[in-house]
Amino acid sequence: MGNTSTTAALVCVFTGAPPPVAVGRGTGVGTRGRDRKRAVAAQSSQAAQVPHLTRARHGSAVDGPALAGLAGLAGATGDAVGLGLPVVLDGYVVGAGALAAVRVDPTVPRD
| Distance separating alpha carbons of residues 73 and 96, to the nearest angstrom | 8
pLDDT at 41: 83
Q: What's the start-to-end Cα distance of the chain, in Å?
A: 31
Q: What is the pLDDT of residue 50?
A: 52
- Of 8-12, 61-65, 82-86, the range with the lowest mean pLDDT is 61-65
Mean pLDDT of 4-15: 82
The pTM for the full model equals 0.69
Q: Across residues 81-108, what is the average pLDDT?
A: 84
SS3 category, 100: helix
The DSSP secondary structure of 16-31, one letter per residue, reads ---HHHH---TTT--H
Amino acid at 22: A
Domains and CATH numbers, the chain: 3-104 (3.40.50.10210)
More confident: 44 or 81:
81
Q: How far is CA 13 from CA 8, 48, 73, 103, in A?
A: 9, 7, 17, 10
pLDDT tens, residue by residue, 12-62 = 888 888 888 988 877 778 899 889 888 888 887 766 555 544 444 444 344
Average model confidence (pLDDT) for the chain?
A: 76
